[in-house]
Amino acid sequence: MAQRGYFTFVLHGHLPYVLNHGQWPHGMDWLSEASLYSYIPLLREFYRLKKEGVDFHLTIDITPVLAEQLSHPLFKDEFKRYLRARIDSAQEDKAYFKKTDQDHMAGLAQFWEDYFVETLRFYHDEIKEDILAAFRGLQEDGYIEIMTCAATHGYLPLLGLEESINLQLSQGKATYERHFGRAPHGIWLPECAYRPRYPWEPPFSTPLYKAPVERKGIEEHLAAHKLLFFVVDTHLLAGGKAIGTYLERFPMLRRLWLQSQQGQEPLPPAEKRSPYQSYCVSSTGDLDKAAAFFTRDPHTALQVWSAEHGYPGDYWYLEFHKKHFPGGIRYWRITKSKSDLAEKDPYVPERAKERLRAHAEHFVGLIKGQLDKYHNETGERGIMCAPYDMELFGHWWFEGPEWLALVLRLLAEDKGILTTTCNEYLEANPPSLVMQLPEGSWGEGGYHFIWLNQDTVWTWEHIYEMEQSLRSLKGVKGRLPVDTTLQELICQSLRELLLLQSSDWQFLISTVSARDYAELRFSTHYDWLRQLISTTREYLQTGELSEGARNFLSDCKRRDDLFPELDWRWFFEYNINGSRP
């Protein structure tokens, strides 16, 4: 069969830093749940495909902050405890259901007991309690390609200083190299958020900025770090048409949008730009400061993203929200559209498995249909890029990992569509068209609304305040190379700045999914960073640290124990007009 095109899943794996910051409902249990229902089930499916000899390839991203947590001894010990608690809960539920003559529910409890026991076996025996090393092995064997990300998933277009962007990218790349033993080829931009070069100022009034500042396009930063490609949402390729709905609702967004449009050349007609080829983006026209990008396919996206219109909303699939007290295990199916929790029927695993085949075949049909159409119209073999949050598969959509593996099997059998990774495709098919992109993200409305709105503007005020406070420290640069105590203070301050900049806090505030936790975490990192900066100022004046200051620094290092190779030069010696240190 003649080859007609290429396909790659792009799975974005990310959670904010939760080690030493709570347990349940928000904290360490998030990481354990994602590992139990997403990361390990995906690994298990990839191992099965490999064992079966299936030729499969896909692209994934494990954010640096997630990699730090998955590799941490604290998580590894906690995860085993978490799994054993799940097994105990399933056994207790089984005994209760049997005692109350609920035979089907007792069978489901056995299903979950088996599932948890098998997960523990796989974790201990097959991947040796090292999730990250298992993904690395699949990359070294050529099945997957792992991208990097900004260190803590900072929302790059809204960060106030070029130094902050450089810090996020430098730490992200260094963490990747430590965990995966090589340099990354590509990057997942947090929230797929991009900003071109233009005279920028904050989207709200602040005395910290006296006038607009010429800011680099995000691709210029990527090129400086030798990061070759990233992924954008469909509307950015089409000229940013999706941004209009929120501009009138929130004046700050309109102000930022108008700034970004000043001096920009009109984009070519949208119909000339297909999401089934890669492009190069350059704000300046200088190809040494450019990066390639792939575009999210609009036709397949909703089939997986949407619980209302896509596969995850099938009535036979597991219901996410209804849980059995006290263990929190889920025993019910979706049942029907928009049914309340009282109307849920018991889960039937066999019926759910039957639906997987139909949904996988339908998805593969969409891939083949779109790439066949593109091939017939252009004579070229296009690339379809399908990006999703990794946690969607398993955590939100329980059957998702098995569905994804079935799609990969069907594509391997077809031969007409080759699965690939983004970098493999670029090496064989370098982009021929250089273009400009508008500002935007993959968030609701296509712009910055989820991360910048009336509920989150206060967080950006404090981020800009702390960036400027660090930058304005007097006497730091001359003493840092020779003063190890000052290095400790500054490096921990930069860790707290990175954690403060995590886009998760604005997302959780805006979606109200864990608002109290997000506001507390943001405020905590702000307080710690402010105290560290105050301590640093005092140390610069006196040359001494009090016992209390040393205790506070030690406590911060213990609680936020990540990024050991963090280099103060990434922030304090960044050359805005030239190369990074």
How sure is the predictor about 476, in pLDDT bands with cuts at 50, 70 and 90?
Answer: confident
Phi, psi of 146 (to 5 degrees): -105, 125
SS3 at position 464: helix
Residue extents of the structural domains in the chain: 457-572
Give the residue from 472, 573, 567 showing the smallest Cα distance to 170. Answer: 567
Check if the beta carbon of residue 42 is closer than 8 Å to that of residue 394: yes
Nearest to 452 by CA among 319, 311, 209, 255: 255
For 278-287, what is each residue's pLDDT tens digit? 999 999 888 8
- Residue 262 predicted with pLDDT over 90: no
> How far is the first Cα of the chain from the last one, in angstroms, to the nearest whole number?
50
Nearest Cα to Cα of residue 351 among 396, 327, 377, 317:
317
Q: Which two tokens stand for residue 78?
A: 């906690």
Beta-carbon neighbour count of residue 172 at 10 Å? Answer: 30
Residue pair 426/278 in contact (Cβ under 8 Å)? The answer is: yes
Q: Which two tokens stand for residue 451?
A: 């991360």
Average pLDDT over residues 87-93: 98
By annotation, the residues acting in catalysis are 191, 389
CA distances from 225 to 150, 507, 578 (A): 12, 27, 12
250 has a pLDDT exceeding 50: no
For 247, other C-beta atoms within 10 Å of its C-beta total 18
> Which of the four pLDDT bands, split at 50, 70 and 90, describes residue 511?
confident
Burial class (CB in 10 A: 0-12, 13-18, 19+), 226: exposed
What does the pLDDT read at residue 472?
93
Q: Following DSSP, what letter does each residue of 506-548 receive, concatenated?
A: HHHHHHTSSHHHHHHHHHHHHHHHHHHHHHHHHHHHHS---HH
Of 63, 75, 178, 51, the C-alpha closest to 130 is 75
Supply the pLDDT for residue 247: 44
Amino acid in the structure at residue 38: S
367: nearest Cα among 422, 399, 410:
410
In the predicted structure, residue 241 carries a pLDDT above the cut 60: no
The C-alpha torsion from 577 through 579 and 580 to 581, rounded to 10°, is -110
Reported in sequence order, the residue ranges of 248-353 that DSSP labels E, i.e. its strands, are: 279-281, 291-295
Distance of CA 62 to the CA centre of its chain: 7
- Say whether pLDDT at 39 is over 80: yes
Q: Is the peptide bond before 269 cis (omega within 30 degrees of 0)?
A: no
Locate tokens 């981020």: which residue? 463
The pair of structure tokens assigned to 213 is 């500042």
With respect to CATH, is domain 457-572 assigned 3.60.20.10?
no
What's the mean pLDDT in 302-313? 85
Structure tokens at 86: 């799940």
Residue 9, pLDDT > 80, answer: yes
Q: 478 - beta bridge partners?
A: none
Average pLDDT rounded to a whole number, residues 105-110: 98
pLDDT at 239 exceeding the cut of 80: no
Place of tokens 């509307």: 235
Torsion of CA 133, 134, 136, 141, to 10 degrees: 140
Q: What is the pTM of this model?
A: 0.94
| CA of residue 138 relative to chain centroid, distance | 20
Radius of gyration of the chain (CA): 24
Query: Which two tokens mark 342?
Result: 């009282």
Q: How far is it, in rounded angstroms, from Cα 488 to Cα 495? A: 11
Dist CA 22 CA 30 (whole Å): 10
Q: How far apart are CA 351 and CA 339, in angstroms?
A: 19
> What number of residues does the chain have?
581
371-428 per-position pLDDT tens digit:
999 999 999 999 999 999 999 999 999 999 999 999 999 999 998 999 999 999 999 9
More confident residue, 1 or 412: 412
Give pLDDT, residue 273: 85
Determine the pLDDT at residue 251: 58
Q: Could you read off the pLDDT of 518-539 as tens digits, one per residue?
A: 999 999 999 999 999 999 999 9
More confident residue, 565 or 265: 565
Q: Coil, helix or strand for 346?
A: strand
φ and ψ of 240, to 5 deg: 80, 30
What does the mean pLDDT of the chain come to? 92
465 CB burial (10 A radius; 0-12, 13-18, 19+): middle
pLDDT band, residue 565 (cuts 50/70/90)? very high
Res 238: pLDDT: 79
Residue 1 pLDDT level (bands cut at 50, 70, 90): low
At 183 the pLDDT is 98
- Helix, strand, coil shares, percent, the chain, to 5: 55, 10, 35
Sign of CA dihedral 11, 17, 19, 22: negative
| Residue 395, Cβ density class (10 Å: 0-12 exposed, 13-18 middle, ≥19 buried) | buried
Relative to beta strand 213-215, strand 198-200 is antiparallel
Q: For residue 276, which phi and psi values (nearest 5 degrees)?
A: -100, 20
Distance CA 279, CA 228 (A): 11
Angle at 467 between CA 463 and CA 468, to 5 degrees: 120
Per the listing, tokens 């099938």 go with 314
> What is residue 240's predicted lDDT score, i.e. its pLDDT?
41
